[in-house]
Amino acid sequence: MKTRRSILTTLHRPTLPIEWAASPPYALLNLNFCAASIPVSPTENQNKAPPLATSAPAEGLAHVARSTSRRLVQTRSISLQVYARDDGLWDIEAELIDTKTRDFELTAGLRRAGQPIHHMRLTLTIDIAFHIVDADAHTLAAPYPGYCEDYGDAYRSLIGLNLMHGFSPAVRQRLHGALGCTHITELTRVLPTAAIQAFAGEVVRPEASEGKQPFQLDRCHALRLDGPAVLRYYPRWARPAAHNSDSSVSAGGASRSG
């Protein structure tokens, strides 16, 4: 077996109402990050999100928590670990676990409080160019034992894809509907950014020496090319804000019409 070292571990916890969090597409939306996967008991503290990057959203959440009595019903934990292997490849292991705080009667039988309703794992092996060279999926707990895990080698269809180029559309095409497991397929959505985070500081990106625009720019609101963060940290790639040019055109048009 190849030796490897862990580079990145993330744990996502949902803050959605339970009726949303249990079904796609909401199951992976509005998730918060914490630094490591830490087992916790099903208490009120388990459902509290970790501190956010800015104080305003956190204060809003705290206000809701204080003003409304609530009880924890379900926890969905999505953890990702990325390993650097001694053969130069990388393993990304994504795991999803659903548990309830009470006994739950499934169609296939009773599931005790704290026992996983869903427990799925997806492992991809990638190279430094984000190409998927191997893929494997396992179901350790599911509502319909003996049936939920009967997806065969469906997830090996991910081999050959690239996490950075057309990955999501290709996943939908190859694993939509009855072709795969809903929850394992959900895990694919968080793999690209996990790989990027793991590679940061570990893999030398070719564009760094070729004078190309850094990969992360213009891929989120904070690092938009016409934003203040890019102007401060990446001034070479900063662009004028679109509304400035629009206002100039409007002003010019107004002066001409006058």
Structure tokens at 235: 């001034």
pLDDT at 164: 94
Count up the domains in the chain and report the number. Answer: 2
- Average pLDDT on 107-135 reads 96
pLDDT in the model for residue 118 = 97
Q: Find the Cα–Cα–Cα–Cα dihedral 192, 194, 197, 203, rounded to 10°.
A: -70
Domain interval for residue 170: 4-203
Same domain, 49 and 120: yes
Q: What is residue 223's predicted lDDT score, i.e. its pLDDT?
A: 93
Q: Domain check: are 162 and 178 in the same one?
A: yes
The pLDDT score that the predictor gives to residue 215 is 80
Are 139 and 184 within 8 A, CB to CB?
Answer: yes
Q: What CA–CA distance (Å, rounded) separates 240 from 59?
A: 33
Give per-residue pLDDT as tens, 24-52.
433 333 333 333 333 334 444 444 444 44
Tell me the average pLDDT of the chain: 79
- In terms of domains, do 68 and 34 share one? yes
Residue 160 region by backbone torsions, left for phi larger than 0, else alpha for psi between -120 and 50, else beta: left
Q: Which run of H or E residues covers position 245?
A: helix 242-257
How buried is 48 (Cβ within 10 angstroms: 0-12 exposed, 13-18 middle, 19+ buried)?
A: middle
Parallel, antiparallel, or unpaired: how do β-strands 4-14 and 104-106 relate?
A: unpaired
Supply the pLDDT for residue 9. Answer: 65
pLDDT digits (tens, 9 = 90+) for 128-178: 999 999 999 999 999 999 999 999 999 999 999 999 999 999 999 999 999
d(CA 186, CA 175): 10
Q: Do 144 and 223 reside in the same domain of the chain?
A: no
Say yes or no: 179 and 242 in one domain.
Answer: no
Q: Are 194 and 216 within one domain?
A: no
DSSP, res 213: P
